[in-house]
């Protein structure tokens, strides 16, 4: 794993040097905001390389590879925020983008900022590209093995849809208040949907996992859960056997489908609801959380805008 200085050098070369930019020029561009007495301004650069594989009906039906690059500029003064962005990374594009964003803030002064480089941060994940850590033929083998595995567990399985995706993002941000910093972030994601047909009743189960790491993480051994296991209800497992993580994802998707196939229709009407820990908190967040955000209260767009101190 590379250290912070090495990561900064890699990102600086990829996003700045390769596009005829440097730290001094970024300081000059941010100076256009600083001369207008903004609270702060920043420029965010990003280069993202991604790939995705999908298996459906036992066939690899799609494979994509994409590279995206660009930057955004932001200036904040009081309650006013100016944004501008470009998918072209060059000195000319950056200067034009900064000029567009800075027109929202009036001033005739000139200023230049000296940016300090932040290269003493903690490195939290490996910088290697996920799709270079594992051959693509092996990724296809993993998807096919997941399909065969769930079909072998239950004859009612009619389809298994597997999606594997990964990307690596190089990012750099230069700000008037914190200097300049860079990061390299790899991500992988594995998703599985299992379709079960039991005497004409069709149900789907889904499970997925992901992490900022390489594909090798998917081959690590994890506990094998019984197909009738329900978290929080079933008894704890004494001495579980272990299987590879990607097979555990397929097994969990099948378990989810089997729970649905056994489920009975719920009684209609007004009923009390008991929310457990975990995902139910999202319901609370969506129901009242956004309405309680300070900007919504200030703008008067929230249903709670006149309820300060009330129940």
Tell me the sheet residues that pair with 203. Answer: 196
State which H helix or E strand residue 245 sits in. Answer: helix 245-262
Tokens of residue 107, six digits: 């001033």
| pLDDT the model gives residue 261 | 92
Tens digit of each residue's pLDDT, the chain (311 residues): 678 888 889 999 999 999 999 999 999 888 888 767 788 899 999 999 999 999 999 999 999 999 999 999 998 888 778 888 999 999 999 998 888 887 766 554 555 555 566 666 677 776 666 666 678 889 999 999 999 999 999 999 999 999 999 999 999 999 988 889 999 999 999 999 999 999 999 999 999 999 888 888 889 999 888 887 777 677 777 778 899 999 999 999 999 999 999 988 888 899 888 888 788 888 888 888 888 888 888 888 888 888 878 87
Span 97-136, pLDDT tens digits: 888 887 766 554 555 555 566 666 677 776 666 666 678 8
Q: How far apart are CA 254 and CA 268, in angstroms?
A: 28
Q: What is residue 216's predicted lDDT score, i.e. its pLDDT?
A: 84
Distance CA 95, CA 87 (A): 13
Q: 294, exposed or middle or buried, with CB in 10 Å at 0-12, 13-18, 19+?
A: exposed
Biggest alpha carbon–alpha carbon distance for the chain: 77
pTM for this one? Answer: 0.77
Q: What is the pLDDT of residue 199?
A: 93
State the pLDDT at residue 116.
63
Contact criterion met (CB below 8 Å) for 35 and 75: no
* Vertex 161: Cα angle to 155 and 165 (nearest 5): 145
**Which tokens sit at 76?**
């904040």
Domains and CATH numbers, the chain: 4-262 (3.30.2290.10), 273-311 (no CATH)
The reported pLDDT for the residue numbered 110 is 52
Q: What pLDDT was estimated at residue 104?
A: 64
77-98 pLDDT per residue, tens:
887 788 889 999 999 999 988 8
- The per-residue pLDDT for 308 is 77
């Amino acid at each position: 794993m590379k250290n912070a200085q090495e990561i900064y050098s890699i990102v600086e070369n990829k996003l700045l040097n390769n596009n005829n930019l440097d730290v001094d020029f970024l300081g000059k561009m941010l100076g256009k905001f600083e001369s207008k007495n903004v609270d702060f301004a920043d420029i965010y650069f990003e280069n993202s390389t991604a790939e995705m594989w999908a298996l459906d009906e036992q066939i690899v039906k799609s494979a994509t590879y994409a590279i995206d690059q660009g930057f955004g500029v932001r200036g904040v003064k009081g309650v006013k925020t100016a944004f501008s962005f470009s998918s072209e990374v060059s000195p000319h594009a950056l200067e034009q983008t900064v000029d567009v964003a800075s027109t929202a803030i009036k001033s005739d002064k000139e200023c230049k900022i000296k940016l300090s480089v932040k290269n003493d941060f903690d490195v939290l994940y490996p910088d290697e590209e996920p799709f270079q850590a594992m051959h693509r033929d092996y990724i296809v083998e993993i998807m096919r093995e997941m399909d065969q595995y769930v079909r072998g567990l239950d004859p009612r399985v009619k389809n298994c849809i597997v999606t594997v995706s990964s990307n690596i993002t190089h990012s750099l941000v230069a700000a008037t208040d914190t200097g300049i910093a860079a990061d390299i972030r790899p991500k992988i994601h594995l998703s599985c949907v299992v379709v079960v047909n039991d005497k004409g009743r069709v149900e789907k189960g889904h499970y997925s996992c992901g992490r900022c790491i390489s594909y090798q993480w998917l081959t690590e051994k994890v506990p094998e859960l019984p197909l009738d296991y329900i978290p929080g209800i079933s008894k704890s497992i004494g001495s579980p056997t272990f299987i590879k993580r990607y097979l555990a994802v397929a097994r969990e998707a099948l378990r989810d489908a089997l729970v649905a196939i056994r489920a009975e229709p719920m009684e209609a009407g007004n009923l009390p609801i008991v929310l457990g820990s975990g995902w139910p908190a999202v319901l609370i967040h969506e129901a009242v959380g956004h309405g309680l955000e300070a900007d919504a209260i200030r703008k008067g767009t929230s249903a709670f805008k006149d309820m300060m101190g009330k129940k």
